[in-house]
Amino acid sequence: AQSVAQPEDQVNVAEGNPLTVKCTYSVSGNPYLFWYVQYPNRGLQFLLKYITGDNLVKGSYGFEAEFNKSQTSFHLKKPSALVSDSALYFCAVKGAAGNKLTFGGGTRVLVKP
């Protein structure tokens, strides 16, 4: 069965500092990896995805993520965090042979001024 682990329930960072949200996954075959963000009282919004190709993918709002096959990781990063980045972030994986999308438990990011 496929799974996603987000080891940190919450990440605190000062505005202007780098932000990293960790994600590791387990899936059969090649993975399709996604990051979504959820602002309070809103649905999830797509940030970025890795399908194939370059291991470093860039997405919305200045976010990027690096796919590391050997470590089965897909960490989300932002060089300089903003207070408006405070939200709940979800990593998700889909196997190349399957149709189910499995989410991690989510990481709450709090960016302090």
For residue 42, give the DSSP letter.
Answer: S
Cβ contact 60:72 at 8 Å: no
Q: How far is the CB of 15 from other proteins (least distance, A)?
A: 27
Among 45, 68, 71, 84, binds other proteins (CB under 8 A): 45
Residue 113, classified by CB atoms within 10 Å of its CB into exposed (0-12), middle (13-18) or buried (19+), is exposed
If binding is defined by CB under 8 A, does position 101 make contact with other proteins?
Answer: yes
One-letter amino acid identity for 98?
G
The pattern of x and - marking residues 3 through 22 that bind other proteins according to CB under 8 A reads -x-x--x-------------
User: Does residue 24 contact residue 71 with C-beta atoms inside 8 Å?
Assistant: yes
Q: Which of 14-22, 44-52, 66-74, 76-84 is the region at the interface with other proteins (rule: CB under 8 A)? A: 44-52
Q: Which of 19, 104, 109, 111 binds other proteins (CB under 8 A)?
A: 104
Closest C-alpha to 50, from 3, 107, 93: 93
Site residues (vs other proteins, CB under 8 A): 4, 6, 9, 32, 34, 36, 42-46, 49, 51, 90, 92, 94, 96, 99-106
